[in-house]
Chains A and B, each alone.
Chain A
Amino acid sequence: MIAIDVAGLNVRFGAFRAITDLSLTIDYGEVHAIIGPNGAGKTTLLDVISGLTRPVSGRVTLDGARELTRLSDTAIARAGVRRKFQKPSVFMALSVGENLEIGGLGDASLIDETARLIGLADQLQRPAGTLSHGQKQWLEIGMVLAARPRVLMLDEPVAGLTDGETDLTAELIATLRGPDRAIVVVEHDMDFVERIADRVTVLHEGRTLFEGAMADARQDRQVIDVYLGR
């Protein structure tokens, strides 16, 4: 079943075309990775879906019914489409528990479970500003997760993490996968993507270059030329 349907999307910043005629679908139950070189439009695509950037033209529909391009970022989040930012952004001045509470829209019942899931169950009182980089990444995933989103978008979840932390993150994502949830991951770490993703879309200069399994992407001539290298 289709969660997010992007059709004919065009985004421009002044004269610069960030996304050109992009169409793709994100299904429930899958982990869909979006990869591509810098400037390919990956984060911009997430910005459009989460309502931070307005496209020049094109539609983004949720569950085949709700048009997201006209909603505010808040309304989109409330509709269950949530996102972790590229730069880890947690509320430094608040404790881990308070961060999760805010993430859960005030529903305290899920805090403990979420904290266990992200491995911070014993750190609830700790100020988020004192966490390590990896813990901050997980805490942010936890905040996004705390409201049990239907669409979960993760922008570079393993950037700057150690190998061990990357493994844990991959396991975390595997446990988050479910028939009622679509997961979108933007990432540069190809091995990580191959481990978690059911499907990849390769973007290049705002267009779709390839769509399919990661193993096939690695064989694709064009993908190798513009992105993976030989």
Chain B
Amino acid sequence: MIRPLLLCLVVLCAVLRAQPATALDRDAVVASACGPATAAAEAGRMIIDGVAQASADDLVWARQLIASALDRSLACPGGAAPLLSLRNRAAFETIAAELTLLAAPDPTARAGALKSLGRRPELVPAGVLDRAAAQEQDTALKAALAEFAALADLGSPDLARRGRAVARVADTPSTRAATQLAALTNDPAYRADAGFRATVDDAITRVGRGLMIGRVLATLYNGASFASILFMSAVGLAVIFGLMGVINLAQGEFIMIGAYGTWLVQQGLHAAAPGLAVWYLPIAVIPVFLATAGIGVLLEVGLVRHLYRRPLMSLLATWAVSLFLVNLVRVVFGTQNLQFDTPFYVQGGIAVIGDFIITWNRLFAIGFAALSLAGTWALLRHTPFGLSVRATTQNREMAACIGIATRQVDMLAFGLGSGLAGLAGLALSPLYNVNPQMGTNFVVDSFMVVVLGGVAALEGTVLAALGIGQLNVLVEPFYGAVAAKVIVLLLTIMFLQWRPEGLFALQGRRR
């Protein structure tokens, strides 16, 4: 009972105190602002010094005044607005940003102002920050303000306060924190005070470590998301290759069709059920899988089935299909990149450490691949269909003899592989460009996954996809995407010297 009452009282007091405190002498400010350079600088100081006590009304007014002074539309008693000196202009711009932070109604404007102030946090007076922190409602901005205040404290004359700020900055490692801390090593206090120096050095190490961890995690994360797409595309290739000895050169086009199917679902929802349009990604899963699997089954029945004793010819035939599909899509949809909505669930992410952010779009792809892996694994290991696939892979004649309908197994496996590639297209649509040629970007890497991983076990495909995905992402920042592909290829060829049948080979007598 007592506490809410007390709280009300405190709030009331604050309001009462704020209301009458018209600390800003508007006439004096205008007079100074219209005066010569030294006086104009004084006007700026008056506003800033008064910020802590000024009413909300005053802040709005002051913001307008500074804005007009900056664009020379200030109406002075003498008539013409004075020309700001370069130094005053810089000071006024800072003040304008500070006032925007305090008085702008739009949170994005306030965020923008905070960002522009971020370049020189030590110039922002503590009063401005305290007031901004007290009145800010937006959660994201509040957090940013707290971090900013910590940075600002780094420039504080009070060494103890500075030391605390240093430690606080080091708690959230970022590239900016590293720069700020590095700047402190040039500070006189760093040289003079051993304790402060130790604090700063320790903080620099911690931030450095954090950044390093962040970089490593970010690389692993990006690699994992690329590997996810590769896995989904390669697992179908591997199963089909193991089963029929056929490599489907149109696999990349199944990815492309999957992405286009996703786009069609999105457009269809916009037209038919705009309320659901934001959920187009999960809604598209089943139609995209069925459509690509269906096309895969058609391809198997119409073409590949007749060629599995002539695997080299099947390369040609599936290439012809890929050529046909690419050009068909080009004619129907055009060559430009498709525009996808980015629903909230694949937007943004959570910052973890350093510059590492778990972005939802990549997590979506990874999660998707993990589900596909689990599904495929369960299907191959724990269903009669999976048993038939494994049996036929190991010995087709024997499987046929014991009554497995090998033709049907081929057909379904081809459908499964194509469907998974289609889902890869769905999973990558929030990440990569979608156009008729997109298949080529993935297909060569997918082939290398099959070559590396072998066809005997799903584990091989998973490991190879992870390896090749990671390698691409690892090499790319240093030597470029092309070098990454070159290295992947060379390593694959070298690996084959050591294990010609891939990571996991079927064990047994050859021949």
Contact A16 B507 (CB under 8 A): yes
Nearest B residue to A155 via CB reads B511
Q: Which of A31-79 contact B (CB under 8 A)?
A: 43-44, 47, 52-53
A18 CB-CB contact with B under 8 Å: yes
Q: Give, as a whole number of angstroms, the nearest-CB distance from B63 to chain A.
A: 77
Which of B507, B509, B510 lies at the interface centre, i.e. has the most chain A CB atoms within 10 A of its CB?
B509
B384 CB-CB contact with A under 8 Å: no
Contact A53 B510 (CB under 8 A): yes
A1 to B307, CA, bound (A): 52
For chain A, give the interface size range: 10 to 19
Nearest A residue to B510 via CB reads A52
Chain A residues with CB under 8 A of B510: 47, 52-53
Contact A85 B511 (CB under 8 A): yes
Chain B residues with CB under 8 A of A85: 511
Chain A residues with CB under 8 A of B509: 13, 18, 43-44, 47, 53
Chain A residues with CB under 8 A of B511: 47, 52, 85-87
A87 to B397, CA, bound (A): 15
Main secondary structure of the interface of B (DSSP, over half): loop
Nearest B residue to A14 via CB reads B507
A24 to B334, CA, bound (A): 72
A13 to B501, CA, bound (A): 14
Nearest B residue to A11 via CB reads B509
A14 to B509, CA, bound (A): 11
Nearest B residue to A15 via CB reads B507
B157 CB-CB contact with A under 8 Å: no
Q: Give, as a whole number of angstroms, the nearest-CB distance from A14 to chain B.
A: 4
0 or 1 for each of B467-511: is its CB under 8 Å from A? (1 = yes): 000000000000000000000000000000000000000011111
Q: Give, as a whole number of angstroms, the nearest-CB distance from A11 to chain B.
A: 9
Chain B residues with CB under 8 A of A18: 509
A31 to B510, CA, bound (A): 26
Nearest B residue to A13 via CB reads B507
Chain B residues with CB under 8 A of A86: 511
A18 to B507, CA, bound (A): 11
* Contacts A47-B511, A53-B509, A86-B511 known; 13 new A-B pairs at CB < 8 A: A13-B507, A13-B508, A13-B509, A14-B507, A16-B507, A16-B508, A43-B509, A44-B509, A52-B510, A52-B511, A53-B510, A85-B511, A87-B511
List residues of B whose CB falls within 8 A of some A CB. 507-511
A-B contact pairs, 7 of them (CB 8 A): A13-B507, A14-B507, A18-B509, A43-B509, A44-B509, A53-B509, A87-B511
List residues of A whose CB falls within 8 A of some B CB. 13-14, 16, 18, 43-44, 47, 52-53, 85-87
List of 5 A-B pairs having minimum Cβ-Cβ separation, nearest first = A14-B507, A13-B507, A13-B508, A44-B509, A47-B509
